[in-house]
């Protein structure tokens, strides 16, 4: 038992010293130096976020809304990080999201507009529920309370 403890202490110390000796430059792999390039889908998601933020402001201040922009349809064509294939769940989620987003612009009164807007934001969240849950708290901020 005593021997085991001694062994553990030595190995811990050994581990620490080896870490100290390493120059951070030597331990960096080449990949870590390559600049991070967001995927087409990531950029598109950020576009959709910003657009809906602007839409929220317009709805709240009672401004007339612009027409639905076809830019949203990029959700069907933009490539995912690492060229990951879009699964069935993504495709179905994208379709119901687009339908909901389009409907916002067709609403006649502000109450119906708010309702449709929130429905759309909830469909963003729906798709994020299984994969990519990280941005959910941020997306929730788009909801109109």
* 52 near ligand HEC, judged by CB under 6 A: yes
Token digits of residue 37: 């390039």
Q: Are 75 and 44 in contact (CB under 8 A)?
A: yes
Residue 120: CB minimum distance to ligand HEC, A: 7
Angle between helices 110-128 and 88-104 (to 10 degrees): 170
* 90 near ligand HEC, judged by CB under 6 A: yes
Q: Could you say which of 131, 140, 141, 144 contacts ligand HEC (CB under 6 A)?
A: 131
Q: Are 119 and 100 in contact (CB under 8 A)?
A: yes
Torsions phi, psi for 29 (to 5 deg): -85, 165
Residue 59: CB minimum distance to ligand HEC, A: 14
List of residues contacting ligand HEC (CB under 6 A):
39, 41-42, 45-46, 48-49, 52, 80-81, 90, 93-94, 97, 123-124, 127-128, 131-132, 135, 138-139
């Amino acid at each position: 038992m005593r021997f085991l403890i001694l062994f553990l202490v030595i190995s811990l110390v050994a581990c620490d010293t080896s870490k100290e000796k390493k120059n951070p430059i030597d331990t960096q792999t080449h990949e870590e130096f390559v600049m991070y390039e967001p995927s087409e889908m990531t950029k598109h998601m950020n576009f959709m976020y910003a657009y809906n933020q602007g839409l929220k402001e317009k709805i709240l201040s009672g401004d007339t809304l612009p027409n639905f922009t076809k830019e949203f349809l990029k959700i069907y064509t933009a490539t995912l990080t690492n060229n990951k294939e879009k699964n069935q769940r993504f495709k179905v989620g994208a379709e119901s999201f687009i339908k909901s987003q389009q409907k916002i612009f067709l609403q006649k009164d502000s109450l119906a507009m708010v309702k449709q807007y929130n429905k759309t934001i909830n469909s963003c969240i729906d798709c994020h529920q299984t994969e990519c849950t990280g941005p959910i708290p941020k997306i929730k901020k788009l909801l109109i309370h």
